[in-house]
Amino acid sequence: MDHQQEAERIRQLRQELEMHNHRYYVLAEPVISDREFDGLLQELERLEAAHPELDDPNSPTRRVGGDITRNFPVVPHRFPMLSLGNSYSREEVAGFVARVERSVGRTRFTMELKYDGVAISLTYKDGALVRGVTRGDGEKGEDITNNIRTVRAIPLKLQGTDWPTEFEARGEVILTHAQFARLNEERARNGEEPYANPRNTAAGTLKNQDPKLVAARGLDNFIYTLQGEHLPTRSHYANMMKARAWGFKVPLPELRYIGQADDLDGIMAFIDHWDKARHHIGMAIDGIVVKVDDLDVQEELGLTAKSPRWAIAFKFQAEQAVTRLKAVTFQVGRTGAVTPVAELEPVLLAGTTVKRASLFNADQLQRLDLHAGDMVRVEKAGEIIPQVVGVEAGQRVPGAVVIAFPPDCPECGTPLVRLDGEAQHYCPNEHRCPPQITRRIEHFVSRRAMDIEGLGGETVEELFRAGLIRTVADLYDLTAAQLLALGKGWGEKSAAQVIAGIEASKAVPFEQVLHALGIRHVGETVARKVARGAGSIDRLMAMSLEELTALDEVGEVIAGSIKGFFAAEGNRAVIERLRNAGVQLAVTAGSGPAGDALAGRTFVVSGVFRTFSRDGIKEAIERQGGRVSGSISRKTNFVVAGADMGPAKRAKAEELGVPVIDEEELRRMIGE
Ligand code: IVH
């Protein structure tokens, strides 16, 4: 392909990928498989790498997240972002309708769900997203455009042609229950505390400095208004349907996410429907918004100090239950995080029996001012996780003692620590605190980690209590005789099965082994990417923070966690023992033919490549036994230069007499 053809192909791929993206994330009607999608995306990545001059911040390749954002600039909103007047009773809604009709006569209303998420304003110019800003104080918000680009339901380029040259689409970024549950499962697997509710998690995610992490969280979005001078119609509802045609995710009338009414009865019917149906739509909504539909009538009605006179929010009552606090227990997780948990007299709440509720951390405990035997109010946060939201202080037994966060680990007695800026207390006794050890080992043997058959939570505890295992490495020294000697419940067969399972785990690929090690923030996906990017544990242990963050999916937090893990003497010792046992500590064949064509040579790669991705070229070198280093020194054997390698690097290579080769040359060296 010549340059012209490649440019055309890039344009075509971007359009096609954005279309598939829309079909998948907005319409939920994909027409190609994930695999085909990835194939097209990779083709685009390759072409873009070869043509930096054709860069486009709205390319679908940007949806996976780019560089770390140091801080989010504060920018003024062109139109203030207002809030809504709240109402908690049907009478108040009736009052609102009466006020409107008194002022402007009969008029049509549009009703929508009130999404419980984070308000954002998206600016589009010439059909392309140029800016995404948080609500902030309503007058100015933070520019979080790079994070916004990772939200797949937000179009980066609009379809059709009848959009205003410049306008804002406003809406709510949310986390669906399904994504929220997935995140919390992943956190549990990684030994991290669960998030409290979808809204706070969405808010925290949008402000995260690492767009790659934001991309991985799977945020969703609904648009609920358009702002601008030349909107397509003067009806809010009709504008929403226009926005739908341009590619936005808007509330669907088919699902009754949006409706219209000409009187109070119609509005009430919508509210009644959702008062019941809200528990079944897979996302948190905290009410219904009623809006005057006609934009001219809206203008006529105008605003009060903070909120429009043409709209009102009807808030649903969160379901609550009151029950007695039996005790507060303090659970120690795999990473040493200590979580207070309220043990409750069982009570029925929004369809399930609740016996326990997380109290999250010391701050929350203090805020609630819990006393032994208190009657507490429980609510399902974001409709999912039971949470203690308050205390019926009036019903407190006189003389009841206040419940305090323990200064020492309830399991091992070590004084707890609390890191700066973190809400969680940790037990630092990583290598001796029993639940930390057993939960780490449980994670190690679990199905998605080393997948050791015959070992589970109870057996791990038993082996630990018997003094047979203290670290995951001890598993590989176990003998059938030791297991049989445990007596009750063990027979020749079960002992042999466990030993065979341990033996078989030596074939588990490095990607999974890395996950099994239980490094904080390194879940399955990250482990896979890191293992492939680094190639081996030795290389991984030697990588600088900078090299780590250059890996796919790795931001500063993950990089720091990896460094911290390998810095610990105890962990290094465990890894040496795993190595001696024969556990896989490097990626092996299957991820490409390995060889030793580059053994003993050190490479520095710089610039963008036509036929390799940045990680891909490193992987290719390492797979052939070469080493990749971050900076040019006398030890460097070759510099592989791609397009736009910096002049300073080139000068340095020349000064030290290091040969500079191109990617074709590299391919020849590895025999391709
Ligand atoms: S309209 C002038 N529609 O609720 C009113 N807001 O207090 C502009 N919200 O921060 C907002 N769902 O983020 C509107 N369907 C909906 C909404 C909605 C959720 C949020 C919005 C705003 C808050 C209003």
Q: How far apart are CA 370 and CA 358, in angstroms?
A: 13
Does one domain contain both 24 and 121?
no
Does one domain contain both 501 and 610?
no
Cβ of 115 less than 6 Å from ligand 1? yes
**In-domain check, residue 290:** yes
Two tokens, residue 618:
């490193």
Cβ of 82 less than 6 Å from ligand 1? yes
Cα(169) to centroid of ligand 1, in Å? 12
- CB atoms < 10 A from the CB of 408, how many? 12
Check whether 420 has a pLDDT greater than 90.
Answer: no
CB contact at 8 A, 375 and 323: yes
Nearest-CA residue for atom 9 of ligand 1: 114
Check whether 383 has a pLDDT greater than 80.
Answer: no
Cα 499 to the center of its chain, rounded Å: 37
DSSP string, 391-418: E-GGGPPTTPPBP---SB-TTT-PBPEE
Ligand 1 atom at minimal distance to the Cα of residue 113: 15
What's the pLDDT score for residue 382? 58
Q: Burial, 634: exposed, middle or buried (Cβ in 10 Å; 0-12, 13-18, 19+)?
A: exposed
Nearest-CA residue for atom 3 of ligand 1: 224
Q: Which of 24, 26, 20, 23 is nearest to 250 (CA)?
A: 26
Q: How far apart are CA 235 and CA 230, in angstroms?
A: 13
Does one domain contain both 449 and 577?
no
What's the pLDDT score for residue 591? 43
Q: Burial, 267: exposed, middle or buried (Cβ in 10 Å; 0-12, 13-18, 19+)?
A: buried
Q: How many domains does the chain have?
A: 6
pLDDT tens for 74-106 read 999 999 999 998 898 999 999 999 999 999 999
Cα(236) to centroid of ligand 1, in Å? 14
Q: Burial, 293: exposed, middle or buried (Cβ in 10 Å; 0-12, 13-18, 19+)?
A: buried
pLDDT tens for 300-355 read 999 987 789 999 999 988 778 899 999 999 999 888 999 999 999 998 887 678 89
Cβ of 168 less than 6 Å from ligand 1? no
pLDDT tens for 538-559 read 999 999 999 999 888 888 889 9
Nearest-CA residue for atom 23 of ligand 1: 83
Two tokens, residue 131:
């800016």
Among the candidates 292, 315, 338, a domain finishes at 315
- Look up tokens 């505890």; give the residue: 461
In sequence order, the 6+-apart residues with CB closer than 8 A to the CB of 62 are 146, 149, 150, 156
Check whether 108 has a pLDDT greater than 90.
Answer: yes
Cβ of 308 less than 6 Å from ligand 1? yes
Ligand 1 atom at minimal distance to the Cα of residue 112: 15
Q: Which of 403, 61, 112 is nearest to 258 (CA)?
A: 112
What's the pLDDT score for residue 650? 86
- Look up tokens 């419980």; give the residue: 116
Cβ of 304 less than 6 Å from ligand 1? no
Cβ of 135 less than 6 Å from ligand 1? yes
Cβ of 20 less than 6 Å from ligand 1? no
In sequence order, the 6+-apart residues with CB closer than 8 A to the CB of 170 are 81, 119, 120, 121, 122, 223, 224, 225, 226, 227
Cβ of 199 less than 6 Å from ligand 1? no
Among the candidates 395, 415, 450, a domain finishes at 395
Does one domain contain both 265 and 124?
yes
Cβ of 112 less than 6 Å from ligand 1? yes
DSSP string, 141-206: EEB-HHHHTT-TTS-SB-SSS-S-SEEEEEEEEE--HHHHHHHHHHHHHTTPPPPS-HHHHHHHHH
Cβ of 192 less than 6 Å from ligand 1? no
Cα(111) to centroid of ligand 1, in Å? 12
**In-domain check, residue 452:** yes
Rounded-to-5 percentages of helix, strand, coil across the chain: 40, 20, 40
Q: Give the domain range for residue 624.
A: 602-669
Cβ of 83 less than 6 Å from ligand 1? yes
Check whether 149 has a pLDDT greater than 80.
Answer: yes
**In-domain check, residue 310:** yes
**In-domain check, residue 590:** no
Does one domain contain both 265 and 214?
yes
pLDDT tens for 428-480 read 998 899 999 999 999 999 988 998 988 988 899 999 999 999 999 999 999 99
**In-domain check, residue 424:** no
Cα(87) to centroid of ligand 1, in Å? 13
- Among 410-424, 563-577, 630-644, which is the least confidently predicted range? 630-644
150 to 466, 525, 579, 631: CA distances (angstroms): 49, 17, 39, 31
Cβ of 224 less than 6 Å from ligand 1? yes
The residue whose CB lies within 8 Å of the most ligand 1 atoms, and thus the one to mutate among 81, 82, 86, 114, is 114
Cα(294) to centroid of ligand 1, in Å? 17
CATH value at residue 343: 2.40.50.140
Cα(117) to centroid of ligand 1, in Å? 10
Does one domain contain both 160 and 283?
yes
Question: By three-state DSSP, how is residue 323 classified?
Answer: strand
Does one domain contain both 159 and 299?
yes
Cα(83) to centroid of ligand 1, in Å? 6
Nearest-CA residue for atom 22 of ligand 1: 83
**In-domain check, residue 74:** no
Nearest-CA residue for atom 2 of ligand 1: 82
Cα(270) to centroid of ligand 1, in Å? 17
Q: How far apart are CA 290 and CA 287, in angstroms?
A: 10
Q: How far apart are CA 612 and CA 609, in angstroms?
A: 5
Ligand 1 atom at minimal distance to the Cα of residue 251: 15
The residue whose CB lies within 8 Å of the most ligand 1 atoms, and thus the one to mutate among 82, 84, 135, is 84
Nearest-CA residue for atom 21 of ligand 1: 119
**Span 484-498, average pLDDT:** 91
Among the candidates 529, 546, 581, a domain finishes at 581
Cα(119) to centroid of ligand 1, in Å? 7
Cβ of 274 less than 6 Å from ligand 1? no
Cα(395) to centroid of ligand 1, in Å? 37
- Among 134-138, 188-192, 442-446, 545-549, which is the least confidently predicted range? 188-192
Q: How far apart are CA 530 and CA 666, in angstroms?
A: 23
CB contact at 8 A, 548 and 563: yes
Two tokens, residue 554:
């790795």
Two tokens, residue 355:
């016996």
Does one domain contain both 259 and 136?
yes
**Active centre residues (catalytic):** 114
Q: Which of 552, 527, 559 is nearest to 443 (CA)?
A: 527
- Residue 127's pLDDT band, with cuts at 50, 70 and 90, is very high
What's the pLDDT score for residue 486? 92
- Look up tokens 């009750």; give the residue: 488
Does one domain contain both 652 and 564?
no
Q: How far apart are CA 596 and CA 461, in angstroms?
A: 44
Q: Which of 475, 489, 466, 470 is nearest to 446 (CA)?
A: 475
Does one domain contain both 298 and 444?
no
Cβ of 84 less than 6 Å from ligand 1? yes
What's the pLDDT score for residue 295? 97
Check whether 126 has a pLDDT greater than 50.
Answer: yes
CATH value at residue 34: 1.10.287.610
Q: How far apart are CA 122 and CA 156, in angstroms?
A: 10
Check whether 181 has a pLDDT greater than 80.
Answer: yes
The residue whose CB lies within 8 Å of the most ligand 1 atoms, and thus the one to mutate among 116, 224, 293, 301, is 224
CB contact at 8 A, 328 and 358: no
Two tokens, residue 40:
């097209």
Radius of gyration of the chain (CA): 29
**In-domain check, residue 12:** yes
Does one domain contain both 332 and 283?
no
Cα(135) to centroid of ligand 1, in Å? 11
Terminal-residue alpha carbon distance, the chain: 21
Amino acid at residue number 204 = G
CB contact at 8 A, 227 and 80: no
The residue whose CB lies within 8 Å of the most ligand 1 atoms, and thus the one to mutate among 289, 310, 312, is 289
DSSP string, 355-379: EEEE--SHHHHHHHT-BTT-EEEEE
Where is 222: in which H helix or E strand? strand 220-227
Q: How far apart are CA 39 and CA 15, in angstroms?
A: 15
Cα 27 to the center of its chain, rounded Å: 22
**In-domain check, residue 308:** yes
Q: How far apart are CA 662 and CA 659, in angstroms?
A: 10
